[in-house]
């Protein structure tokens, strides 16, 4: 081993036909360490590995490690979801989940994190009784690791199986009124609500269309085809990021037309009271229900979906698939894609039948169960034009036709 100008260590690692290689600089590296480096390089050569290439690989690995911390990958993952069109609310929740474990895990590289370390960080949240939040944090971390695996910064996903080690939260369903008489009273209370007209109109429409509250609040006039009685909700406004079309009954269209008289010059169908440029807040509808005397455990704005699902199924008049499609529970299979087109006519008839039943409940006279109402009144409805889908008709499946009893 020799030095050049007392600056570099050079070593002849193989035959003298190959130029000598630098293994460090003096005096930063002492003689003993230089000799150890020479030894290590010769071991690599003995195993057929080029020391220079190995050094470059290790340098790249160090650079990659700096960009492989949970903080870097999590923020990159959230940014990707922003570009994918996820709502601000969803992005905020992701950032919040990460903030709860950032102090303990943020600076560690994904490949260095062990399952027990992740579990310890999550259990700090769990120990405060926040079982659902703890499970959702685990789910978020697992998604970040999965993204890390796909982008070459993690070899495994240690968070994937941690759910077994966490306390399972009790399943809490959205509070909903499913008794026909009580629901009829709610409809009458909504009609008599004395608050902001936009809130009253939104609450009047909610039972008929039973979309998610966020989809209702963000409705824009460009989404509503009043001529063809169809509300087309774009994918960026949907929870599952799939576009969804809602057939509008005569009653639904009447409420929307009433809203158009009030707010037709605005972008939003139901603008906020204080700013027509913004939708009403996610708490507005629930606050209105509280004002009418309905407690959190009695009814929430999301409960209109549960009510519709329960009573429509009780009618035994509609295919379960039709009800699920109306609730925008997405089926990504080929059969699911075909059903969205095939069951449109039945969804149209169901929407009108449901609105007619709501009118019956609102009247409050000789209340009938859904099944009794179905037996007394057959399905009659106008047919809104089916949304353009582009679905193939070359798929074979068994179709259950409207009018068939599904009991």
CATH of 70-165, one of 1.10.150.130, 3.40.50.80, 3.40.50.1100, 3.30.930.10: 1.10.150.130
Strand pairing class (230-233; 244-247): antiparallel
Residue 384 has pLDDT above 90, yes or no: no
Q: Is the pLDDT of residue 65 over 70?
A: no
Q: Check whether 354 has a pLDDT greater than 90.
A: yes
Region 97-104: mean pLDDT is 95
Q: Pick left, alpha or beta for residue 85 (phi over 0 → left; psi -120 to 50 → alpha; otherwise beta).
A: left
Sign, CA dihedral 281-287-288-294, equals: positive
Q: Do residues 2 and 23 make contact, with C-beta atoms less than 8 angstroms apart? A: no
Helix then strand then coil, % of the chain, to nearest 5: 55, 5, 40
pLDDT tens digit sequence for 171-204: 666 789 999 999 999 999 999 999 999 999 999 9
Active site residue 239: yes
φ, ψ at 176 (rounded to 5°): -150, 145
Catalytic (active site) residue 89: no
Its CATH architecture, for the domain 180-376, is Orthogonal Bundle (1.10)
Q: Which residues contact 215 (CB under 8 A, 6 or more apart)?
A: 233, 237, 238, 239, 244
Going from the C-alpha of 395 to that of each of 243, 321, 331, the distances in angstroms are: 21, 17, 15
**Average pLDDT of the chain?**
82
Q: What is the mean pLDDT of residues 283-293?
A: 94
401 pLDDT higher than 60: no
The pLDDT tens digits of the residues spanning 127-154 come to 998 999 999 999 999 999 999 999 988 9
pLDDT band (50, 70, 90) for residue 114: very high
244 DSSP assignment: E
Cβ contacts of residue 333 below 8 Å, gap of 6+? Answer: none
Q: How far is 16 from 24, CA to CA, in rounded Å?
A: 20
- List the catalytic residue out of 9, 147, 294, 338: 338
Q: CA-to-CA distance for 76 and 87, rounded, in angstroms?
A: 16
Task: Enumerate the domain spans of the chain.
Answer: 2-65, 70-165, 180-376
Regarding predicted confidence, which is higher, 344 or 372?
372
Report helix, strand or coil for 234.
coil
pLDDT at 348 over 90: yes
Check residue 241 and give its pLDDT.
74
Verify whether residue 329 is a known catalytic residue. Answer: yes
Q: Of the listed 81, 93, 130, 239, which one is catalytic? A: 239
Give residue 360's pLDDT band: very low, low, confident or very high (50, 70, 90).
Answer: very high
Catalytic hit among 136, 204, 305, 360:
305
Which of the residues 217, 302, 340, 362 is marked catalytic?
302
Q: How confident is the model at residue 89 (pLDDT cuts 50, 70, 90)?
A: confident
User: Catalytic: which of 153, 212, 347, 362?
Assistant: 212
C-alpha separations of 228 from 109, 232, 248 in Å = 55, 11, 9
Q: Is 204 one of the catalytic residues?
A: no
> Is residue 277 annotated as a catalytic residue, yes or no?
no
Start-to-end CA span in the chain (Å): 90
Question: Which structure tokens are listed for 287?
Answer: 């606050």
Catalytic pick among 80, 267, 278, 329: 329
Q: Which of 1-10, 163-172, 299-308 has the lowest mean pLDDT?
A: 1-10
* Least confident segment among 198-212, 290-304, 377-391: 377-391
Decide if 305 is catalytic: yes
Q: Kindly tell me if the per-residue pLDDT of 397 is higher than 60.
A: no
Full DSSP string of 123-177 = HHHHTTT-HHHHHHHHHHHHHHHHHHHHTTS-S--TTTTGGGGSPPPPP-PPP--
Whole-angstrom Cα distance, residue 22 to residue 358?
85
Q: What is the pLDDT of residue 73?
A: 95
pLDDT at 18 exceeding the cut of 70: no
- Residue 392: the pLDDT is 36
Of the candidates 77, 140, 141, which has an alpha carbon nearest to the alpha carbon of residue 108? 141
pLDDT at res. 174: 74
Phi, psi of 330 (to 5 degrees): -75, 135
What pLDDT shows up at residue 59?
66
pLDDT for 50 beyond 90: no
The highest-level CATH class for domain 2-65 is alpha beta
Confidence of residue 120 (pLDDT cuts 50, 70, 90): very high
CA 146 to centroid of chain Cα atoms:
16
């Amino acid at each position: 081993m020799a030095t050049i100008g007392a600056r570099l260590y050079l070593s002849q690692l193989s035959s003298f036909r190959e130029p000598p290689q630098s293994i460090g600089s003096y005096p930063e590296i002492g003689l003993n360490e230089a000799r150890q480096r020479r030894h290590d390089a010769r071991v690599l050569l003995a195993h057929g590995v080029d020391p220079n290439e190995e050094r470059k690989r290790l340098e790249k690995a160090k650079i990659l490690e700096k960009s492989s911390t949970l903080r870097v990958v999590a923020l990159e993952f959230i940014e990707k979801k922003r570009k994918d069109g996820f709502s601000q609310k969803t992005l905020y929740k992701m950032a919040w989940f990460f903030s709860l474990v950032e102090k303990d895990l943020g600076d560690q590289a994904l490949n260095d994190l062990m399952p027990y370390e992740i579990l310890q960080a999550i259990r700090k949240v769990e120990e405060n009784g926040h079982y659902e939040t703890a499970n959702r944090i685990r789910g978020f971390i697992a998604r970040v690791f999965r993204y890390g695996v796909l982008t070459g910064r993690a070899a495994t996903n240690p968070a994937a199986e941690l759910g077994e080690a966490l306390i399972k939260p009790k399943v809490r369903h959205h509070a909903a009124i499913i008794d026909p008489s009580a629901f009829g009273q709610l409809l009458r209370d909504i009609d008599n609500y004395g608050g902001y007209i936009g809130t009253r109109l939104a609450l009047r429409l909610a039972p008929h269309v039973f979309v998610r509250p966020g989809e209702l609040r963000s409705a824009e006039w460009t989404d509503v085809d009043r001529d063809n009685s169809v509300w087309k909700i774009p994918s960026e406004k949907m929870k599952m990021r799939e576009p969804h079309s809602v057939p509008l009954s005569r009653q639904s269209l009447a409420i929307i037309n009433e809203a158009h008289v009030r707010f037709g010059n605005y972008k939003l169908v139901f603008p906020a009271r204080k700013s027509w440029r913004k939708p009403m807040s996610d708490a507005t509808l629930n606050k209105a229900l509280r004002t009418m005397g309905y407690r959190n455990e009695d009814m929430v704005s999301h409960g209109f979906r549960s009510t519709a699902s329960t009573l429509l199924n009780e009618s035994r008049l509609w295919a379960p698939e039709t009800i699920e499609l109306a609730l925008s529970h997405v089926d990504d299979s080929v059969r699911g894609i075909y059903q969205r087109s095939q069951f449109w006519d039945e969804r149209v008839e169901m929407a009108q039948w449901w609105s007619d039943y709501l009118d019956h409940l609102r009247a409050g006279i000789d209340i009938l169960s859904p099944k009794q109402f179905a037996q007394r009144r057959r399905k009659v409805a106008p047919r809104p034009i089916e949304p353009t889908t582009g679905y193939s008709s070359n798929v074979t499946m068994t179709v259950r036709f409207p009018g068939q009893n599904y009991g």
